[in-house]
Chain A
Amino acid sequence: ILNVEQSPQSLHVQEGDSTNFTCSFPSSNFYALHWYRWETAKSPEALFVMTLNGDEKKKGRISATLNTKEGYSYLYIKGSQPEDSATYLCAFAYNTDKLIFGTGTRLQVFP
């Protein structure tokens, strides 16, 4: 059974703090690793799609790294803002583009 694990399950930070989450996935048969942000009452929104070992991607204050050999990815948020409050999902694709999702990290940023 292919499993994607995310930690921590939830996180509460103050505005301005930087934070990071971890996603662990099987290191064999890797095709791609996706990160999504899911705000309450909205649709999940794609942040990054990463395919190459050592890949680093950045979008504004959010960045992600990928290690396919050891099977992990980190998502970093620099200077968290209240509007960053959401559930962050990672998803692993093996061989095809069907995704296996983790249970997510729920981030709450307090002003």
Chain B
Amino acid sequence: DTGVSQNPRHKITKRGQNVTFRCDPISEHNRLYWYRQTLGQGPEFLTYFQNEAQLEKSRLLSDRFSAERPKGSFSTLEIQRTEQGDSAMYLCASSLSPGNGYTFGSGTRLTVV
């Protein structure tokens, strides 16, 4: 297992287009998190899965954002009708239990032009 993998690493898209990112967590980790980081800020929580169940979703996540984790393995984050304000680094992390630190992926940097 090589850690948490995110694809793509970079994505440039035109405003109004849909984008989808993928996260492959560490296989034995049942918890998976999505965070977003913009310049000068710390990572902001977006959503969280325990196995395939989406347990919490931030109010930051408008209805243009949706995340899935079918079968409790990999996860996808889709942004519909992208806006320039969606430009950010999207980070995925997984963990085994609440007492453990997160293992982060390298992130997907989204630029909306």
Cβ of A86 under 8 Å from chain B: no
In the assembled complex, how far is the CB of residue A7 from the closest CB belonging to chain B, in whole angstroms?
13
Contact status A36-B101, CB under 8 Å: yes
> Which chain A residue shows the least CB distance to B41?
A103
A-B contact count (CB 8 A): 63
Which of A4, A98, A100, A103 contacts B40, CB < 8 Å? Answer: A103
Number of chain B residues close to chain A: CB under 8 A: 27
Interface of B is mostly: loop
In the assembled complex, how far is the CB of residue B107 from the closest CB belonging to chain A, in whole angstroms?
7
Contact status B98-A97, CB under 8 Å: yes
Contact status A98-B99, CB under 8 Å: no
Once A43-B105, A44-B104, A98-B48 are accepted as A-B contacts, the answer to whether A93 and B42 lie under 8 Å apart by CB is: no
Number of chain A residues close to chain B: CB under 8 A: 27
Once A44-B104, A98-B56 are accepted as A-B contacts, the answer to whether A49 and B43 lie under 8 Å apart by CB is: no
Cβ of A21 under 8 Å from chain B: no
A27 to B44, CA, bound (A): 20
B interface list, Cβ under 8 A from A: 3-4, 31, 33, 35, 40-45, 48, 56, 91, 93, 95, 97-107
Q: A32-B99, A98-B45 are in contact. List 9 more A-B contacts (CB 8 A).
A: A34-B101, A36-B102, A44-B93, A45-B104, A46-B100, A49-B100, A99-B45, A101-B43, A104-B42
Q: List 10 A-B contacts (CB under 8 A).
A: A31-B98, A34-B101, A34-B102, A36-B104, A43-B3, A45-B104, A49-B99, A96-B56, A101-B43, A104-B42
A interface list, Cβ under 8 A from B: 4, 31-32, 34, 36, 41-49, 51, 89, 91, 93, 96-104
